[in-house]
Amino acid sequence: MSEALLHLDAVSKVFPISGGESVQAVDHVTFDVEENRICVLLGPSGCGKSTILRMIAGLEAPSDGAVTLHGKPVIGPARDRGMVFQAYTSFDWLSVRRNVEFGMKVNGVPHAERRERAAHFIDLVGLTKFAEAYPSQLSGGMRQRVAIARTLANGPELLLMDEPFGALDAETRWHMQELMIDIARQENTTMVIVTHDIEEAIFLADKIIFLSSHPGRLKEVIVPEFKHGARIDDKEHIVQLPGYAELEQKIMRLMREEGSREEQ
Ligand SMILES: Nc1ncnc2c1ncn2[C@@H]1O[C@H](COP(=O)(O)OP(=O)(O)OP(=O)(O)O)[C@@H](O)[C@H]1O
């Protein structure tokens, strides 16, 4: 039985805006993320997905409620959480290998261990042949692989990803999604991934946290039961499984409901 690594307890976020006004982005959201599982935050645009992820990362403080990791409150960014953003964030003047080694170097990891860990994670994301290449010589998908390897090499307990494949073309996106399943299987990485892509959510998630439109409230926790807990790394296969189409329709219906609520 997997235990909860991350717990959000009635977390809210209110942002002050100009003229003394404020906007409530997140409203009393509670959920758990168990160790070695992939949790996807899904919901219509502006429902607070990124804000929730930033609170988990410690980049924003909750206005109310608490985020805890292993029962300890999150009070700021730390090495136990690694974040991958949509925009490519590699250092252009460093090779792939040096990009992946960078965080470890800052953290004082000895040279030989750094080399070994970098080689492992570069291999994991399929870039061994490009270890000495520079990010400008790589495609968008490959650069995102560098960001993933670099983040994982720092040994976070929790990998946080904010629309990580949003800037990629459909086919590259597909390969990246399959890669994430592979990584989860090989490394037992716990992940929280933000997306607004229903297919991506169903493919990646062990658990989907579906949020209502602005302000973000927990609408439903969806477990894709049709996968029977298996990590299926073949997208063509998963869409054909009994139960896939029904779940996709259910989530589309939820999205439509939230869309029409927003228009009222
Ligand atoms: N720093 C900020 N100051 C003021 N308002 C903010 C700030 N950050 C987010 N918001 C507001 O909070 C709400 C939620 O934003 P957030 O980016 O978390 O949503 P999202 O679900 O990730 O959206 P999308 O899917 O479009 O990326 C929005 O109304 C947004 O305008």
pLDDT in the model for residue 2 = 53
Cα separation, 89 vs 98, whole angstroms: 14
Tell me the CATH number at 221: 3.40.50.300
Residues 219 and 254: beta-carbon distance below 8 Å: yes
Residue 121 lies in a domain: no
**Residue 69, Cβ neighbours under 10 Å: how many?**
19
In a domain, 141, yes or no: no
Contact (Cβ atoms closer than 8 angstroms) between residue 138 and residue 130: yes
> How far apart, in whole angstroms, are the C-alpha atoms of residue 263 and residue 87?
30
Indicate whether residue 22 lines ligand 1 (CB < 6 A): no
Is 189 domain-assigned? yes
CB 48 less than 6 A from any atom of ligand 1: yes
pLDDT (tens place) for every residue of the chain, 264 residues total: 456 899 999 999 999 988 888 999 999 999 999 999 999 999 998 999 999 999 999 999 999 999 999 999 999 999 999 999 887 778 889 999 999 999 999 989 999 999 999 999 999 999 999 999 999 999 989 999 999 999 999 999 999 999 988 888 888 899 999 999 999 999 999 999 999 899 999 999 999 999 998 889 999 999 999 999 888 888 888 999 999 999 999 999 999 988 776 655
110 secondary structure, DSSP code: -
Residue to substitute in 49, 85, 162, 195 for testing ligand 1 pocket (most ligand atoms within 8 angstroms of CB): 49
How far does residue 100's CA lie from ligand 1's centre (Å)? 30
Determine, yes or no, domain membership for 148: no
Q: Does residue 140 lie in a domain region?
A: no
Tell me, yes or no, whether 143 lies in a domain.
no
Q: Is residue 173 situated within a structural domain?
A: yes
Q: Ligand 1 pocket: which of 21, 24, 47 to mutate (most atoms <8 Å of CB)?
A: 47
- Which residue minimizes the CA distance to atom 24 of ligand 1? 45
Host domain of residue 32:
4-80+156-263
The C-alpha atoms of residue 115 and residue 254 are separated, in whole angstroms, by 47
Q: Name the residue among 13, 219, 189 with its Cα closest to residue 206.
A: 189
Cβ atoms of 88 and 147 within 8 Å: the answer is yes
Over the stretch 93-142, which tens digit does the pLDDT of each residue have? Answer: 999 999 999 999 998 999 999 999 999 999 999 999 999 999 999 998 99
CA 16 to ligand 1 centroid distance, Å: 12
* Atom 29 of ligand 1: nearest residue by CA position: 46
* Alpha carbon nearest to ligand 1 atom 11, residue: 25
Q: Number of folded domains in the chain?
A: 1
Whether residue 10 lies inside any domain: the answer is: yes
Strand arrangement of the beta sheet that strand 72-73 belongs to: 22-34, 4-16, 64-69, 72-73
